[in-house]
Amino acid sequence: MSAPNPTPERDVILKTVGITKRFGAVVALRGIDMELRRGEVLGLVGDNGAGKSTFVKILTGFHPPDAGKIYLEGKEVSFNSVSDARRHGIETVYQDLALVPQLTVTQNLFLNRELTSLGRMGWLSNRKMRRLAREYLQGIKVNVPDIDAEAESLSGGQRQAIAVARATRQNAKILLLDEPLAAMGARESALIVDLVKDLAQNQGMSMIVIDHNYAHLFELCDRVNIIQQGRVAYDRSVNDTSLEDLTELMVSEYRRQLLEGQTQLDK
Amino acid sequence: MAQASLTTPAAPAPPHRAERGLSASTLIRTIVQRREATVVAVTLGVIIYFGIASSAFFTTANIITIAQYIAAIAVIGAGEVLILVLAEIDLSAGQVYLTSPWFMYLLWHAGMPLGWAIALTLVFCIIIGLINGVVTVWLNVPSLIVTLGMTYALFGLVLVESNAIQVNTPGATGRFGWAFGIGSWSTILWALGILTIGWVILKRTRFGLHITATGGNLLGAAEAGVPVRRIKVYCFMIISLASGFIGILDAIRIQSMNPGNTGLDIVLPGIVAAVVGGTALTGGRGTIVGTAIGAIFLGVLEDGFNLIGVSANWFYLAEGVVILIAMVANTQLTSLAARLRR
Ligand SMILES: Nc1ncnc2c1ncn2[C@@H]1O[C@H](COP(=O)(O)OP(=O)(O)OP(=O)(O)O)[C@@H](O)[C@H]1O
Ligand SMILES: [Mg+2]
């Protein structure tokens, strides 16, 4: 279950112990123990409904966990809101992207972090936000037809790029990416993969990446955790695991369940 | 870094607004693409029609009549824009409009100076909005039902407190009275001020942006950390405050209060003004400018039918048909604008 060589505490930027979460009758997480090291890219894989997104939403302060502890740089934290987690340097690309269709690219990029004058609820500094949005998107080579276009009018991949850009713009300590490449074509994926790699290698950003595409995971990640039935079932370094091994681990669990079902039917 | 980029080379970016030529066709395009375009056209149409059909239409007295009639519709409609953008609805705004002068009257009757009675009444209106919002947001009851319940409760409250007997509004005199409803242009000027504030809030402030975000994608806005529940509650408080305030002005202007008036008759034109003006019922999109024009449309219609002597029996039928035609024109033109945008 745990990593082959225990990591020195100071190298661990984020650690969770026994995170559980249930939604009514559905138990989504049964005790997630996870360690994310400084500058590391950690992949999370698991079947649909395994609880990956729920885990991410607990780390972003969106869901409060039922039980369990979160340690950020060795200190126990509990996030009482998304803004709270953001203040601690946690940025997220949600699986549903969390974009507002009726808002422009710029407005989505700055959503809930708008630049204002005259106080917090005050006057929007639209011109400045548009300039910064254009500069940032050009800087990371993400091109959208128009930064004043409503998100609704963008393609699925473009929308995803905006969601990724919103999270990477912040110089976060920890970046959580929940299936960031799902709607993207090969070229666009390559762009985002390069961006993410650059942030990890050159800026030392730590990341958790969820992706059903193992090829992406092998390209991006240092380590992979397999989540099954609300727990971390396997923890593997990418260097001593092959794509086949990973597939085998995933499928063997499925076979075991099938067999279990079979034996129960036989009884 | 890869050389890949997310542009689609085949589809060049549209030129920036400043770079666009000012040919007649782009002008038409720009006008058609504004969400308020249809309601402006339709309203101009009815104004011209009634102007020709009745010589009394373009007189100062008649324009004042229209202005006084539409002030409340416009203010309540503007409040509904905030609520509709949130993908909620407030049916109680009309009853708040009727109830607040009663509250003021009771306080005044109990010996409070009128100014204080008005101030306290406005607090009472804010609390009604707070209740609407809290029950909707935290107890998860659809706002349609919450505010309908509030409408009946307030109507009942007025009947009980008034013994169902009509009273005269406390006489507001002097400059104070002139400013608070007596002056011919008083209510419409207040309405203009309130609409301007509403427009500024929705278009220019962070709070307004968060209203759109909340209504456009409730879950997504919450995931981005927008305090969606608080935003909703604030908006219910704002519409109650605005409706209660304009209700006081109208009661002072009309100088009497009839406990039998029902709030739905007042809130529905406000909602119609908002929707005819281009505000979506599905959330995320709303226009206060359009609502103001929608209110003018309804006011002109009501007034014009009166002037040309459409009998009371035909009145609602005619009004209903015209509203439906306006809405059909609206949706058709919207999809035309969407096609032009491509
Ligand atoms: N807000 C919610 N209310 C009720 N149940 C929920 C909620 N969110 C998640 N669940 C349930 O929790 C379980 C885990 O869901 P989750 O979205 O975390 O899975 P996932 O691993 O991200 O799956 P996928 O690969 O399909 O994205 C599922 O059974 C889901 O139905
Ligand atoms: Mg998921």
Would you state the pLDDT for residue A264? 63
- Candidates A98, A103, A191; nearest CB to B6: A191
Nearest by CB: A124 against B4, B205, B223:
B205
Q: Would A4 be classed as within a structural domain?
A: no
pLDDT of residue B2: 40
| Domain containing residue A67 | 12-266
Evaluate whether residue A197 is within a structural domain: yes
Task: Please indicate, yes or no, if residue A228 is contained in any of the structural domains.
Answer: yes
| Inter-residue contact B259 to B102 (CB < 8 Å) | yes
Helix (H) and strand (E) counts in chain B: 14, 2
Sheet holding A75-77, edge to edge: A26-37, A12-23, A67-72, A75-77
Rounded Cα–Cα distance for residues B333 and A225 (Å): 53
A145 with B284: Cβ contact below 8 A: no
How many angstroms separate the CA of residue A189 from the nearest CA in chain B?
Answer: 9
The full 3-state SS of chain A, as one line of letters, equals CCCCCCCCHHHEEEEEEEEEEEECCEEEEEEEEEEEECCCEEEEECCCCCCHHHHHHHHCCCCCCCEEEEEECCEEECCCCHHHHHHCCEEEECCCCCCCCCCEHHHHHCCCCCCEECCCCCEECHHHHHHHHHHHHHHCCCCCCCCCCEHHHCCHHHHHHHHHHHHHCCCCCEEEEECCCCCCCHHHHHHHHHHHHHHHHHHCCEEEEECCCHHHHHHHCCEEEEEECCEEEEEEEHHHCCHHHHHHHHHHHHHHHHHHHHHHHHC
Higher pLDDT, A230 or B70: B70
- Say if residues A255 and A242 touch (Cβ distance below 8 Å): no
Domain tally for chain A? 1
Is B284–A102 a contact, with Cβ atoms under 8 angstroms apart?
yes
Q: HSE (CB half, 13 Å, CA atoms) of A218?
A: 12
Least Cα separation, residue B232 to chain A (angstroms): 15
Distances (CA, A) of B227 to A105, A118, A158, B169, B234: 21, 20, 26, 41, 11
pLDDT of residue B340: 67
Nearest CA to ligand 1 atom 11: A28
**A204 found inside a domain:** yes
Searching chain B, which residue's CA lies closest to the CA of residue A124? B205
Q: CB B256: neighbour CB atoms within 10 A?
A: 10
Residue with the smallest CA separation from ligand 1 atom 2 is A23
Share of chain B above pLDDT 90, in %: 67
Higher pLDDT, B318 or B130: B130
| Probe target for ligand 1 pocket from A19, A54, A94, with the most ligand atoms within 8 Å of CB | A54
Residue nearest to atom 28 of ligand 1 (CA): A49
Neighbours of B327 (CB within 10 A): 16
pLDDT digits (tens, 9 = 90+) for B193-220: 999 999 999 999 999 999 999 999 999 9
Amino acid residing at A138: Q
Tell me what pLDDT residue B33 has. Answer: 61
Chain B: give the shortest CA distance to residue A7, in Å: 31
Question: For residue A22, which ligand has an atom nearest its CA?
Answer: 1
Give B205's DSSP letter: B
User: Among candidates B15, B35, B342, which has minimal Cα distance to B202?
Assistant: B35
In this complex, which of B7, B14, B205 lies closest to A143 when CB atoms are compared? B7
Please tell me the distance between residue A49's alpha carbon and the centre of ligand 2 in angstroms.
7
Average pLDDT, chain B: 88
Chain A partners within 8 Å of B213 (Cβ): 100, 103, 111-112
d(CA B243, CA B263): 11
What's the Cα-to-Cα distance from A232 to each of A51, A55, B138, rounded to whole Å?
A: 10, 11, 35
From the CA of A114, how many Å to the nearest CA of chain B?
7
Rounded distance between C-alpha atoms, residue A127 and residue A114, angstroms: 12
A6, part of any domain:
no
The token duo for A107 is 């407005």
Nearest to A146 among B2, B13, B227 (CB): B13
Q: pLDDT truncated to tens, each residue of chain A (267 aa)? A: 444 556 666 789 999 999 999 999 999 999 999 999 999 999 999 988 899 999 999 999 999 999 999 999 999 999 999 999 999 999 999 999 999 999 999 999 999 999 998 776 688 999 999 999 999 998 888 878 889 999 999 988 889 999 999 999 988 899 999 998 887 878 888 888 888 888 888 888 999 999 988 888 888 899 999 998 889 988 988 888 888 888 888 777 777 777 776 666 665
Q: What is the dihedral of CA A214, A220, A224, A225, to 10 degrees?
A: -90
SS3 (DSSP) at B256 = strand
Q: Residues lining ligand 1, CB < 6 A?
A: A 23, 26, 28, 46, 48-54, 95
The answer to whether residue A219 sits within a structural domain is yes
Q: Find how far residue B339's CA is from the centre of its chain.
A: 29
> Is B7 in a helix, a strand, or coil?
coil
pLDDT at residue B14 in the model: 44
Residue A75 CA to residue B114 CA, distance in Å, equals 59
Could you give the 3-state DSSP secondary structure of residue B167? strand
Which pair of tokens denotes residue A201? 């290698």
**Residues of chain B contacting residue A107, judged by C-beta atoms under 8 Å apart:** 209
CA atoms within a 13 Å half-sphere pointing along the CA-CB vector of B291? 35
Say whether A100 and B1 touch across the interface (CB within 8 A).
no
Q: Which of A60, A103, A191 lies closest to B2 in CB terms?
A: A191
Residue B47 reports pLDDT greater than 60: yes
- Using CA atoms, how far apart are residues B286 and B235, in angstroms rounded to an integer? 14
> In this structure, what CATH number is given to the domain that contains residue A74?
3.40.50.300
Res. B18: pLDDT tops 70: no
Ligand 1 atom with the smallest distance to the CA of A227 is: 21
Q: Which of B1, B3, B5, B6 to mutate to test the interface with A (most CBs of A within 10 A)?
A: B6
> Chain A: nearest CA to B204, how far in angstroms?
6
Q: How far is the CA of A39 from the centre of ligand 1 (A)?
A: 28
Helices B37-53 and B312-341, packing angle to 10 deg = 140
> Which residue's CA lies nearest to atom 1 of ligand 1?
A23
Atom of ligand 1 minimally distant from the CA of A21? 12
What's the complex ipTM?
0.89
CB contact (8 A) between residue B206 and residue A97: no
Residues of A within an 8 Å Cβ radius of B: 57, 60-62, 81-83, 86, 92, 94, 96-103, 107, 111-112, 114, 116, 120-124, 141-146, 157-158, 161, 187-188, 190-191, 194-195, 198
Are B225 and A123 within 8 A, CB to CB? no
Lowest mean pLDDT among B59-73, B173-187, B255-269, B277-291: B173-187
- Cα–Cα distance between B288 and A126 in angstroms, integer? 20
pTM for this predicted structure: 0.89
- Under the banding of pLDDT at 50, 70 and 90, the label for residue B13 is very low
> Atom 27 in ligand 1: which residue has the minimum CA distance?
A48
